[in-house]
Amino acid sequence: MKLAIIFLILLVPVGAFTFGQGQKKSEPCADAQTQADMNTCWGKEYKAADATLNQVYGQLMRKLDEADKTQLKQVEAAWLKYRDANCEFVGDQYKGGSMRPMIVAICLADATRNRTVELRNQIKDRDQ
């Protein structure tokens, strides 16, 4: 019995280590080498996320009546104002630093992707 327990204790860490070895990171901008490269890459990530958001926003707008369209426009304007102000606040921790543009772009990309999920859920809810 003791031998089986010792075997399991030794086997589990090896299995956990080898499990992670075959997984490749799909982190955006992982290949960027310089801060300028990272700033540029994350700026592109944000622009791509924003393009997707605009597409999903348009899909949702096509499903709404006029009153709901007006309300969504107001909500979206308020959300954009919040997102931009919040990400500027987050970036201000790095005011004057070369990584500030990257921090702001990461914040914008993440917030925009999250908003896209919310709007997609609105579409799904309305399709049911």
Q: What is the DSSP string of the chain?
A: -HHHHHHHHHHHHHHHHHHHHTPPP--TTTT--SHHHHHHHHHHHHHHHHHHHHHHHHHHHTTS-HHHHHHHHHHHHHHHHHHHHHHHHHHGGGTTSTTHHHHHHHHHHHHHHHHHHHHHHHHHHHH-
Residue 44 amino acid letter? K
- What predicted TM-score, i.e. pTM, was given to this entire model? 0.78
**Tens digits of residue pLDDT in 26-38:** 788 999 999 999 9
Domain range 31-127, CATH class: mainly alpha
**Tens digits of residue pLDDT in 13-72:** 444 444 445 555 578 899 999 999 999 999 999 999 999 999 999 999 999 999 999 999
